[in-house]
Structure 1
Amino acid sequence: MSPDSKLHGKFCGTDVPDVITSVFNNIRIEFKSDNTVSKKGFKAHFFSDKDECSKNNGGCQHDCINTVGSYVCQCRHGFILHGNKHDCKEAECEHKVHSPSGTVSSPNWPDKYPSRKECTWAITSTPGHRVKLLFSDFEIEQHQECAYDHLEAFDGDSDSAAILGRLCGSQTPDPLVSTGNKMYLRFISDASVQRKGFQATLHRNGGTKLACM
């Protein structure tokens, strides 16, 4: 066994190990016993498994994931798998988020967002808690009044609620916090400049409940 060989596992007991797949086209198995207790031992079947992703990415437009005896295609964020199971198409951009925590990001992040896009996120957290939006990455076309590409946040369940902020540029914004358990986000891109976009995490506001009135 060469010193750079990968050890897939060292097994004993009665639990059946998971399927073992070699990295290359060979595998070495070693069995050792001492001079005390003897048991039934083991029996295993081996077979060759083709790596369908190694040639032409398996025909997948985005990511090819090799599995035992087959493979599957996966799409990057902002896209969904086409009916042909290989190509990717843009996902619908209206999101409803019902969770005390999670992640939101612009379409195709961390790659450039597409042009002429409008996406919304209607976020609802646990009753009695606020929604806190904390940005980890932010890069949207710069404009003094954010008149071109921009992200808007509203303090409620639609764009008719009070606005919390209209954001653009490359400076990471301060966290946004709603007054209730709902926040509405709207991202708009125009036909010209595209940037990396944004990613942010959602939190309940420190788990602190709102005071009862």
Structure 2
Amino acid sequence: MTHVGRMWGFSFLLSLSVGWTKAQQTNHTRPVFHCGGDLISDSGFVGSEGFPSFYKPNSKCTWRITVPEGNVVTLSFRIFDLEADSQCRYDYLDVYNGHSNLVQKLGRFCGTFRPGSLISTTNTMMLEMAADAETQGRGFVAYFNGAKPYADDQQFCGGKITKARGEIKTPNWPEKKYPPGTSCSWLITVEPHMVIQVTFDKFVLEADAYCRFDYVAFFNGGAKDDSRLIGKFCGDQAPQPIVTAGNVLLVQFVSDLSVTSDGFLARYTSIPHGSYVPPEPTAELSPPKAVTAAPPPVPTTKYAPTVRPKLVKPARGRGQGATKPTRKRPVPLNPLCAKACRRAGTVKTSFCASDFVLTGNVTSLAPGPRGTLQVGVSIIKAYKAGRLSITQVGEAMSVRLVSQCKKCPLFRRGVNYIIMGQVNDEGRGTLEPGAFTAPYKSPHHRLLTSISNQPC
């Protein structure tokens, strides 16, 4: 099902009139969203002030959600449009695992890609949205409802676990696929001075570049304000072993209402702090086809480097010592690298011809095998992602691209760029010598958005 097919129709959202509390009221057929408030209900909708109009600048709004005792809160975003920034420094939405910003933060979100569903470990949740003085969007709309948690560690979907070792698995494992619309939350606590290591025996979840639909997420800590997201995973590639920073781990599995898959089986064990040694990465390892907290392995490329010929300098005069220059012609496996570096096509034609289109800040440049260049990019916004493997570390999204030529296209560390390229079968982003790149400025966002809404 397409991303558009997953989203509720815009006109349908405007006709909803159930579940409104102090933070939301109905005006005939259209809900009116206010800046914050208390939402006490079995289910309902929460949205930014004035949605679908642009939210106000220099504003801060707080919504406190409470569902009936004995339930947990599930939050599913329908529409999301906040100012984009790779670190969500300007406009953002924070979601907390309770009614305070001193408890665990489930995530900070901005931009226009729709976050995945979130679940709390109790019957309360808090949303806090902040906006600066510039560049507003239309805000967000999300649906919340109360769901029954599994109360003890004998259940196979969620619960509080205090054993030194055990396993976690998706519902229906291994007889059939996990059901749609599922939320599971495991809170694992082991002895002090120990950490938790998780390994996967099997892993098959619905794939998505941002893991917005079906995913499993791991958090350091369970309810403290210093807990952080370790990683968020989906797709069919099992994550590398996960090791916590302390003795508490929160695991959350969410599936949306559409595509399902086989699920996963993971085993955890407690080990002494500092005893885990991560395996050395090798070029033979396949990269994860999911959002992960680890960068993909060094990629290979179909191009060989251009070999520079060695010149023998001739001796002066006509004597016996004089020699003719000899030049060994290389086989031009990649002749484009030797030409002037020019991008091919216009911004519109390149947008349509590329597998991915994004804006971002170049954070690293490193030589790769066979004369390639590895380019680390912190994403500002992805206009096309396709099968591109995107990394999430904490709240930031990034990608590792491979440029076939070291100096074409030319990048500088710390500069923002528009980048368009192709994606290979393993989910790696690649840049041919003529790939479209250009320095990025804020006004370009409107141009790229306009092009993305046009047929190619």
Specify the TM-score bucket, using the shorter chain as the normaliser: 0.5 to 0.7
* Offset from partner CA, 1:147-172 (integer Å, 9 cap, x none): 11000000011111100000001001
The answer on 1:131 being equivalent to 2:73 is yes
The answer on 1:120 being equivalent to 2:62 is yes
Offset of 1:100 from its aligned partner?
A: 1.5
CA distance in structure 1 between the aligned counterparts of 2:121 and 2:150, rounded to whole angstroms: 9
Distance 1:129 1:76, change over 3 A: closer
Deviation >3 Å, runs of 4+? none
1:77 aligned residue: 32
* Offset from partner CA, 1:109-167 (integer Å, 9 cap, x none): 11111101111011111111110110000010001110110000000111111000000
Distance 1:76 1:184, change over 3 A: closer
- State the SS of the aligned residue for 2:128: strand
1:158 aligned residue: 100
User: Higher relative contact order by CA 8 Å / sep ≥ 6: 1 or 2?
Assistant: 1
- State the SS of the aligned residue for 1:77: strand
Q: Which amino acid aligns with 2:72?
A: R
Unpaired runs of 5+ residues, structure 2, are 1-26, 153-159, 161-456
1:181 aligned residue: 123
TM-score normalised by structure 2 residue count: 0.27
- State the SS of the aligned residue for 2:32: coil
CA distance in structure 1 between the aligned counterparts of 2:38 and 2:133, rounded to whole angstroms: 26
* Offset from partner CA, 1:57-105 (integer Å, 9 cap, x none): xxxxxxx98xxxxxxxx99724xxxxxxxxxxxx5x3301111200000
Q: Which amino acid aligns with 2:110?
A: C
CA distance in structure 1 between the aligned counterparts of 2:59 and 2:31, rounded to whole angstroms: 17
Distance 1:176 1:76, change over 3 A: closer
Q: Which amino acid aligns with 1:107?
A: E
Q: After TM superposition, list the pairs within 5 Å mapping 1:185-204 onto structure 2.
A: 185-204=127-146
Q: 1:209 aligns with which of 128, 149, 170?
A: 149
Offset of 1:210 from its aligned partner?
A: 4.1
RMSD of the TM alignment (CA)? 2.2
Q: 1:105 aligns with which of 43, 47, 52?
A: 47
CA contact (8 A) 1:76 1:108 kept: no
Q: Which amino acid aligns with 1:195?
A: G
CA distance in structure 2 between the aligned counterparts of 1:210 and 1:125, rounded to whole angstroms: 16
Q: Which amino acid aligns with 2:141?
A: Q
TM-score normalised by structure 1 residue count: 0.55
Q: 1:145 aligns with which of 83, 87, 102?
A: 87
Q: How many residues align?
A: 127
